[in-house]
Structure 1
Amino acid sequence: MPRYALLIEYDGSPFAGWQAQADQPSVQGAIESALARLDAGFANGARIAAAGRTDSGVHGTGQVAHADLQREWDPFRLSEALNWHLKPAPVAVLAAVRVDDDFHARFSATERRYVFRLIARRAPVTHERGRVWQVLNPLDITAMRDGAAHLIGLHDFTTFRSTMCQSASPVKTLDQIRIDEHEIPQGREYRFHMRARSFLHNQVRSIVGTLERVGAGSWAPERVAEALAAKDRAACGPVCPPQGLYLSGVGYPQDPFGIGRG
């Protein structure tokens, strides 16, 4: 059975998350329904596997999944056919490529990349509604960068993971936190870029919520280190809402799409 990797973009707003669920709409379910129109295996219940399972309301600009089909497809025609059958769901297959049988969207991945978008301005957002977290006042980006520096590297991230996290260990290596600031009409946008081999449940949202408190002046940057050392969920800052979070990319030893890490 030929295996295809899919590069996927989606607006998570109408979905209960990536993972297929019996009674709620999901991104996985939408793609599998489209595949069922093209492939007998998926018509009979075959499943796709993805690099990451995003939560309800979280978006994807660089999700990767793989599917085993019962016949060969021209990759371009496969992506075109899937996009036709995905209408009108806000899900798009950006690219499809034939991959070796040992490629696995989840287990072959060497890193995941997330971006969180936060807008600070008094006026409500209009075009970005449902796609950013909005606060009212500007943030101190230098203080947030100082706070974020305490989280880089190998740590026990118990403080910054959900109590419902199913990971076997809270110990993870956070390879990068980069915070950018952009001017927008009557306000500022802050983008938090994070990169790691894998993340704990709610880790990114917990970190951004905590750094926002630093940027607002409610926390000193050093308090982030204290919260990390506490290894206690109660020491975490507020968990920010999901709508500003994007799974922006997945890294592999050899990029199946030939586009680099971005």
Structure 2
Amino acid sequence: MRLALGVRYNGQAYEGWQSQLSGRTVQDKLETALGKLAGKRISTLCAGRTDTGVHALMQVVHFDTEVERELVSWVRGTNRFLPSDIAVQWAHPVPDAFHCRANAVARRYLYVLSQSPVRPSLDSGRVGWSMYPLDGNAMRAAAALLIGSHDFTSFRASSCQARSPVKEMRRIVITRHGEGERCRWHFEFEADAFLHHMIRNLMGCLVRIGRGDEKPEWMLTVLEARSRMAAAPTFSPDGLYFVGPLYDAKWGLPAEATLQPGGGPYDGSP
């Protein structure tokens, strides 16, 4: 039987998703918990690997097992063995042909940014930070230049293993929450796929434009340069959330993981 799980986690304490010799990754913790529940080793695949310090609102994983459990047991039983900052949200049987990464038709990220004269404290590690006021209209104008299929080499980490730098950016929504010098900004991104560090590199450029250091048109100059050297430094991982992938309705996954007419649902704030 092949099962898909929706997993939510706070990434502050972990060295990203992918298993490491240290054992301090989300995949290591999840597979250990699943193994304790099933009584045998279980190996998982994920829809989108996250880096150190990056969070997930709905990471989707799949695995094969001969062990039979009620779906609620795969959720609550696994959570019993997980640390408090990782929790399975749902479990769903899927056909053997389902692949959580290959079958995703879109992926979504959210970056939460605190605009404040002083650095975050209570929400340290969960939000990015700008001590300077940001111009929302300038950032939205720059973001509009990224919509469509483009070569995103300028926003690609040198360690990126993607076969092609060409991705289709389908949606960027920038919203401000609160007034005055202290507020929060939400940056929502949706694309067919993303390159390594792509969102954090885009955020570096958007914040530079929002501060007034560059004009919105500079984003197009960076994009067309196809050189990482043309872009701003990589932004902090603290406020980055993998909102999750979207799939065709034929797989029968929960609504928050299913592509809807006119775009996919957004799963609230972290």
TM-score band w.r.t. shorter chain: over 0.9
Cα deviation code 1:171-216 (max 9, x no counterpart): 1111111111101786111111000111000100000110000000
How far is the alpha carbon of 1:24 from its aligned partner?
4.2
Whole-Å separation in 2 of the counterparts to 1:86 and 1:77: 13
- Residue 153 of structure 2 is matched in structure 1 by 158
Whole-Å separation in 2 of the counterparts to 1:119 and 1:221: 21
Residue type of the alignment partner of 2:77: A
- Residue 107 of structure 1 is matched in structure 2 by 102
2:68 paired with 1:69: no
Residues 123-202 of structure 1 mapped to structure 2, 5 A cutoff: 123-183=118-178, 187-202=182-197
Selected match of 2:253 from 246, 256, 261: 256
Whole-Å separation in 2 of the counterparts to 1:58 and 1:48: 19
CA 1:152/1:189 → structure 2, altered by over 3 Å: closer, same or farther? same
Whole-Å separation in 1 of the counterparts to 2:233 and 2:44: 34
Residue type of the alignment partner of 2:137: T
Gaps of 5+ in 2: 259-263, 266-270
How far is the alpha carbon of 1:117 from its aligned partner?
0.8
Whole-Å separation in 1 of the counterparts to 2:201 and 2:164: 17
How far is the alpha carbon of 1:68 from its aligned partner?
1.3
How many equivalent residue pairs?
A: 257
- Residue 38 of structure 1 is matched in structure 2 by 37
2:76 paired with 1:80: yes
Whole-Å separation in 2 of the counterparts to 1:4 and 1:210: 39
CA 1:211/1:73 → structure 2, altered by over 3 Å: closer, same or farther? same
How far is the alpha carbon of 1:38 from its aligned partner?
1.8
- Secondary structure of 2:13's aligned partner: coil
Residue type of the alignment partner of 1:68: D
Whole-Å separation in 2 of the counterparts to 1:138 and 1:100: 49
Residue type of the alignment partner of 2:255: G
2:108 paired with 1:117: no
> For the aligned residues, what is the CA RMSD?
1.4
Whole-Å separation in 1 of the counterparts to 2:39 and 2:108: 33
CA 1:220/1:185 → structure 2, altered by over 3 Å: closer, same or farther? closer
2:234 paired with 1:239: yes
- Residue 27 of structure 2 is matched in structure 1 by 28
Residue type of the alignment partner of 2:34: L
**TM-score normalized with structure 2 length:** 0.92
Whole-Å separation in 2 of the counterparts to 1:180 and 1:249: 19
Whole-Å separation in 2 of the counterparts to 1:77 and 1:56: 29
How far is the alpha carbon of 1:135 from its aligned partner?
1.2
How far is the alpha carbon of 1:125 from its aligned partner?
1.9
2:222 paired with 1:227: yes
Taking only the aligned residue pairs, the percentage that are identical comes to 37
- Residue 210 of structure 2 is matched in structure 1 by 215
Contact 1:41/1:69 (<8 A) preserved? no
Cα deviation code 1:145-188 (max 9, x no counterpart): 00111111111111011111111111111111111110178611
**TM-score normalized with structure 1 length:** 0.94
Residue type of the alignment partner of 1:125: P
Whole-Å separation in 1 of the counterparts to 2:180 and 2:217: 32
How far is the alpha carbon of 1:72 from its aligned partner?
2.2
Contact 2:133/2:181 (<8 A) preserved? no
Residue type of the alignment partner of 1:18: W
Residue type of the alignment partner of 1:256: L
Selected match of 2:91 from 96, 113, 126: 96
Residue type of the alignment partner of 2:8: E
